[in-house]
Structure 1
Amino acid sequence: MSVMAIGVNGRPFTVDDLEGMPDDGRRYELIDGTLLVSPTPGLRHQKIVAMLLVKLDPSCPTDLHVLPAPFAVRQSKNTELQPDVLVCRDSDLTDKLLPVAPLLAVEILSPSTALYDLNTKKAVYERLGVPTYWVIDPEVPTLTVFEFGADGLYEQTVVVKADEVFEATAPFLVKFSPAELLGTLK
């Protein structure tokens, strides 16, 4: 992942600057005017995204949607994130983006993004008010769940490894193991 803190003409980046970014397979996100550029995801990452969609979508209530990246979560002109997978209310969507916090944001770790996903993005999702944040490590495989605690801050509520079964209650009921998300990959 590369980070660019200086925007156009010495000013921070805005979502308007994202429109001019190349369509090169990389993910371009903004956090408080700082541009984050992630490389094209690898095989394990994409397999987990696909399998997670397969697991979540059939259980998803009709008033909610499960969406993969790229789909923008934009609450301001200087912050736009694209979770690997998100769940949101139908009534919150526009044709182009989600202008409010999703109910669930999921990030799949990769060597180039792990520190950002576990620290910077986690802090931004917390600040934006995303009630549930899942981080999936494709190498182990492990699912870590963060939810708001009594103090209004994220706390790690669950860590599920390999063939252990995770039973989500939020944003809706669904069961799966992290190992299932790799499908036939080992």
Structure 2
Amino acid sequence: MAMPVPRDEGDLKAAGLVLPTTGPWTVDDLARLPDDGLQYELFDGMLVVSPAPLPAHQSAVSELHVLLHAGCPPDLQVFVAPLNYQPDRFTSAQPDLLVAQREHGEEHDVRRPLQLAVEVLSPSTRRKDLTVKRETYARTGVAAYWIVDPDKESIRVLELTDGAYEQVGEVTGDERLTVEHPFPVTLHPASLLRS
């Protein structure tokens, strides 16, 4: 499970980093962290560090990317992590997959609300994906959120309505579900999630 990482001035200096020791973390602080294969995210100014994903997780992400890329209209673009979604100074999330307006492709980080965020659950990120990220995506206006569970071979589809997510569908195993947002695509977990 991803754990909040406290800022200890001695640890930061030993790592060659000098960051403020008081107050919440900001995206500016995040930009000074090392590129070491770990996932660094901010939620309301709290730094959360997650380990690199496992092969089964990456396989599911790859299959979903192919599916989304194939159906993506020209005004949208599909991205694979790591890419920062930074809607404010104290929030920086890295969805496993995200769909944004094409104009975002020229920016360093995506700042406007996403059309879709997709998280593939893994043992180290399950709690964060189901709680903190869900709340963050809803609060910042992400239009749709898919929660993919390779262990259950399922995909849960949520859409934002009046500031909260409502489940509009769930598909498991060999079932199929066609969703319309952010563009029409048919989900078939058996072909997407089996390694």
TM-score interval, normalised by the smaller of the two chains: over 0.9
Deviations 1:9-32 (A, max 9, x none): 122111111122221211101011
Letter in 2 for 1:155: E
Divergent runs of 4+, >4 A: none
State the match for 1:100 in structure 2. 112
- Decide which of 160, 182, 187 is 1:176's aligned counterpart: 187
Q: Is the 8 A contact 1:86 1:105 kept in 2?
A: yes
State the TM-score, normalized to the length of structure 1. Answer: 0.93
State the match for 1:23 in structure 2. 35
- Supply the distance in 1 between the matched residues of 2:57 and 2:87 (Cα, whole angstroms): 26
- Decide which of 159, 165, 169 is 1:147's aligned counterpart: 159
TM-superposed deviation, 1:5: 5.3
- Supply the distance in 2 between the matched residues of 1:130 and 1:33 (Cα, whole angstroms): 19
TM-superposed deviation, 1:113: 1.0
- Supply the distance in 1 between the matched residues of 2:103 and 2:38 (Cα, whole angstroms): 29
State the match for 2:3 in structure 1. 2
Letter in 2 for 1:21: L
- Decide which of 45, 60, 69 is 1:57's aligned counterpart: 69
Q: How does 1:72-151 map to 2 (within 5 A)?
A: 72-149=84-161, 151=162
Unaligned runs of 5+ in 2: 8-18
Letter in 2 for 1:48: A
SS in 1 for 2:53: coil
- The root-mean-square deviation of aligned C-alpha atoms, in Å, is 1.5
State the match for 2:11 in structure 1. none
Deviations 1:16-51 (A, max 9, x none): 111222212111010110011111000111001100
Q: Rg bigger for which structure? A: 2
Q: Is the 8 A contact 2:113 2:141 kept in 1?
A: yes
State the TM-score, normalized to the length of structure 2. Answer: 0.89
Q: Percent identity?
A: 42
Residues 7-16 or 120-129, more deviating: 7-16
Unaligned runs of 5+ in 1: none
* Residue 167 (1) aligns with residue 178 (2): yes
TM-superposed deviation, 1:91: 2.3
